[in-house]
A and B are shown apart, each in its own frame.
Chain A
């Protein structure tokens, strides 16, 4: 079902007019209120008055994840804090977390995009929606939550984890739709099989996101659970989930273009690439009040689909991101940057960063996360317990910085593979 036909099926020329009007307003507003944006505009010699339509978007400066750290916590907000009604946080590229804020209108628009996403996957007021995304600072849980309430579905806010309870709830409450990460969906599917309760569950569909997954994984989830598995896209810097979502044809995610404009650029030159090219996805938020961004570099690599969709929605679609233009890893749905690990090792190792290697794999549908650290003089001690204390402090520090558990192994010096003299930092053995 189409939740908001007026918007979702808006003719493209009308949509373009709407985007242009919103962009002009947004640029004026941000130039006035966001110092970082104003400085970059001035540096490029661009004035808000130069922006006459959405076609002028390419004149505007890019913004980056690094900005959120440089202007932490509220330096990029475009509303006074009294108008901010919600904060969400996630990990930055270094140890410091990043924070975004929402006004009441922002939350309303956000839940509107979730309402579209849920409806496109077949949800309505008769749906029993088991929301197994994490609640809290992570945008997944509360994002889906508000959208589900908007369409009047019966929301089951179970949050992430506790598989036994997930399945019991699914059976007892008669859940017909589930939202969680795709790897957790696989995990649940296998647990359901093991418990032999497949015929007791009423699931018809699921919406999965927050980590990369493949068509093969979609087919596996669909056949194991007997459901349709839909993809959803979002990131907290833009909004959270619901920036783009799949319709019943499952052929790319419709971008909510009345709120977000997408561009595909060459990550090295910053040039906008021709329609249909694969490159880095860049988003501009047209209506965001609390934390608006212009030309935000998502670092996700993908392409856009401009052909009209059979579902009747006029908004363009994005293909699943196929990679990153930076070294970010998504482990158990959490963003991990090698630079964060380096920072922790530096801190614990007393100003010397030892050689290290991150090894990621997927075992029983759960990501494993190991770090090999080359032993060095700074880490060696004649008492085992001192070395263990050091290992524990690395593990604890990483857990507090990243929010997920990791195993640390001390290995012999020079044992980490090097190519051209440089250690290979990440080995990702996951077959997604």
Chain B
């Protein structure tokens, strides 16, 4: 019901993101979804990958600070208003979203939204009750 998400600290330094992607690419780790949150001083890279724990080990060995956290991945209907319906459900349940990022083609051709809320367990239950089943790692 949760997906394992990597969070990576990215110092504002030329070529830093390229370095990280290079390590993952060389080791055949597939990136399913990716987002970067940037501040004036540093960035946070969040990603869903094919093998989170292998990725974590590899990045760590390269001196990169990385953490695995749980996120919720929800498939989206290919119909207009798909994401907005999910947001409505969460709002109805009094759940706030900390961040989200969407990706097409994460699982086949469907769109998927990765999100983090203030009440992860409740979010999963609430979505399931509404016929939306969060995805796990594949």
Interface hits, A363-398 → B, CB 8 Å:
375-377, 380-385, 387-388
Known: A382-B46, A382-B69. A414 touches B7 (CB 8 A): no
| A381 and B7 contacting across the interface, CB-CB below 8 Å | yes
- By a CB distance below 8 angstroms, the chain A residues around B98 are 383, 385
Please pick, from B7, B63, B64, the residue contacting A382 in the complex, using a CB distance under 8 A: B7
| B116 and A384 contacting across the interface, CB-CB below 8 Å | no
- Decide yes or no whether B42 CB sits under 8 A from chain A: yes
- Decide yes or no whether B13 CB sits under 8 A from chain A: yes
Binding site secondary structure of chain B: strand
CA distance A409 to B9 in the complex (A): 13
Contact mask for chain B residues 47-60; partner A; CB cutoff 8 A; 1 contact, 0 none? 00000000000000
- Decide yes or no whether A319 CB sits under 8 A from chain B: no
CA distance A414 to B37 in the complex (A): 23
CA distance A376 to B63 in the complex (A): 10
CA distance A376 to B66 in the complex (A): 9
- Decide yes or no whether B61 CB sits under 8 A from chain A: no
Number of B positions contacting A (CB below 8 A): 21
- By a CB distance below 8 angstroms, the chain A residues around B13 are 412
Min CB distance, A356 to chain B, in Å? Answer: 15
| A384 and B44 contacting across the interface, CB-CB below 8 Å | yes
Please pick, from A382, A412, A414, the residue contacting B67 in the complex, using a CB distance under 8 A: A382
Interface hits, B6-27 → A, CB 8 Å:
7, 9, 11, 13
- By a CB distance below 8 angstroms, the chain B residues around A73 are none
Known: A411-B11, A412-B9, A412-B13. A382 touches B65 (CB 8 A): no
B residues with a Cβ closer than 8 A to A are: 5, 7, 9, 11, 13, 37, 39, 41-42, 44, 46, 63-67, 69, 71, 98-99, 116
| 5 tightest Cβ-Cβ pairs between the two chains A and B | A382-B7, A412-B11, A382-B69, A375-B9, A375-B65
